[in-house]
Structure 1
Amino acid sequence: MSRVRALNRAEHATLRFDRTVVGASQRIVQIGLSELALAAADMPLCLAKDANTGRFNLVALVGLVEPINLFVHDRRFHATYCPRALQLSAFRLDQNGVAGLAVAEDDPAIGASGDALFHDGEPSPLLTGVAAALETLVTDIGAARDLVDGYAANHLVRPLDLVLQGDDGRDHAIEGLYTIGKEALMRLPDADVVRLHRSGALASAALLTASLAQVERLCQLHNAAGRQPLRITRLSHDDGLSAF
């Protein structure tokens, strides 16, 4: 559990933020709607159900069987695109904190190196930029939820059947992820398809399903790190099983 506290001068005056550092323990990261095409160039994109609301979130899969971000090496993120939630994981919005922020004191990007959070006791311009970036991300994640709500309303969301196998013959099922059912999409009435197309949701659905090919890249990264090799044995959606 992260130690998240409202940002204050008394306790955080000497802290610095190294924006090049990314934590390595996250396997799934939430993304906003504007990040969909960028993230799809590197990682598989899926849907995951929010345990509190039951709504589906748009997420990027950055790890497989272990709680490890496979794109992180030497505390740096090695991919074409790094999701904004990973870039900003050291901070939260908090109206009780300086600049409207809270800080995750144990985040690897927070420490003695990088840009200072305060200069002579006053908040640095960095904090204003971080707060604005977080507000933008919150709005963007909301737009992603609205997109996925539309898929759910059209009964297009299907469980993702993803199973990997190690050299020892043991199967590893990656559970709790969802995607768009291609056959369900093809069965939609023409008017609904046109509506999804004009809203941009049809193109986004195509990106989501196409990005699943990046699971193979995750396997390559996993295997290259010297872990027990994994291979994909099943990667599909069950179009006979609705998520509702």
Structure 2
Amino acid sequence: MPDWQMLNGADHAALRLSRSADGTRHFAQIVADEFLPAMLHYPILFTKHPETGAFYAGVVMGLEPGRNLMTVDGRLPDYRPADLERQGFFIAEGQVVIDREHAVFAAGEGQPLFEPTGEAAPALKRVQQALHVLDQGIAATDAIIRRFLDHRLIEPIDVSMQFDDGRQLRLDGLYTISLDALHALPDAAALALFRGGDLQLAYAQTGSVRHLRTLGRIHNDRIATAAL
């Protein structure tokens, strides 16, 4: 059961924040403001919330649940999605709340949340910024996705891979922007997407799909290393 606690310097002065939980995340939600930095490192794809069926955007970091292929020596590339940065932290009634049982706190090591003076340390400031990015960005991103859907631009993507040891892997439930549908839009619709900034995000998403090959190569290399 989660142990929800209101974050405060008095009760959590000694609490430290570990990034070790990153290694178990194979997918992380992102918002529109994250597309451009995220596209440099990760494939950006759409999927559906299992409860509501609503589309949301995210980055693929691994090909199997519980395994992040992008971590090197426990660290991710230059861009770390806000959804990872805020792991274990939530907003409730305008206040920052933590799940004291979350893995980011379980290690008892990492960066402190508070300075000796009681002020927020850099690790907590990054969490606060990540919470702000998500709080401000989710509704705007939902609106962008609705516009993509209105133009019938989102389609399923077939992600099937075969590795040197003969094993095959298929990722289901992922979607991408259809470039064919995008390029077939009437001029007025394309211009509206361009002026609204949506067109740039569509090309960022489709361009990022090439990183799936990188994930496949890393996965294949680790299979080969494990077989030695």
TM-score by length of 2: 0.84
Other structure's SS at 1:100 match: strand
Judging changes above 3 Å, is the alpha-carbon distance between structure 1 residues 65 and 130 closer, same or farther for their aligned structure 2 residues? closer
Identical amino acids, percent of aligned pairs: 28
Query: For the aligned residues, what is the CA RMSD?
Result: 2.7
User: What's the counterpart of residue 233 of structure 1?
Assistant: none
Other structure's SS at 2:99 match: strand
User: What's the counterpart of residue 82 of structure 2?
Assistant: 84
User: What's the counterpart of residue 63 of structure 2?
Assistant: 64
How far apart are the structure 2 equivalents of 1:125 and 1:189? 51
Whether the 8 Å CA contact 1:95–1:101 is kept in 2: the answer is no
Asked if residue 227 in structure 1 is aligned to residue 223 in structure 2, the reply is: yes
The aligned runs of 1:12-31 (5 Å cut-off) are 12-18=12-18, 21-31=20-30
Other structure's SS at 1:148 match: helix
- Structure number with the higher helix fraction is 2
Judging changes above 3 Å, is the alpha-carbon distance between structure 1 residues 36 and 4 closer, same or farther for their aligned structure 2 residues? farther
Q: Deviations over 1:116-160 (max 9, x none)?
A: 44858xx64245763453133221122222111110111111001
User: What's the counterpart of residue 182 of structure 1?
Assistant: 179
CA offset at residue 169 of structure 1? 2.9
How far apart are the structure 1 equivalents of 2:167 and 2:130? 42
Q: How many residues align?
A: 221
Q: Deviations over 1:16-71 (max 9, x none)?
A: 224x5552111110011111010000111000111233221111010013531111
Whether the 8 Å CA contact 1:94–1:101 is kept in 2: the answer is yes
Q: Decide which of 151, 166, 169 is 1:172's aligned counterpart.
A: 169
How far apart are the structure 2 equivalents of 1:170 and 1:71? 21
Unaligned runs of 5+ in 1: 230-244
User: What's the counterpart of residue 39 of structure 2?
Assistant: 40
Judging changes above 3 Å, is the alpha-carbon distance between structure 1 residues 155 and 104 closer, same or farther for their aligned structure 2 residues? farther
The aligned runs of 1:64-143 (5 Å cut-off) are 64-77=63-76, 79-95=77-93, 99-108=95-104, 111-117=108-114, 124-126=119-121, 127=124, 130-143=127-140
CA offset at residue 205 of structure 1? 0.8
Q: Deviations over 1:74-125 (max 9, x none)?
A: 4322x131111112213111239xx5322353323552442144858xx642
Other structure's SS at 1:227 match: helix
How far apart are the structure 2 equivalents of 1:145 and 1:133? 18
Judging changes above 3 Å, is the alpha-carbon distance between structure 1 residues 22 and 72 closer, same or farther for their aligned structure 2 residues? farther
- Structure number with the higher strand fraction is 1
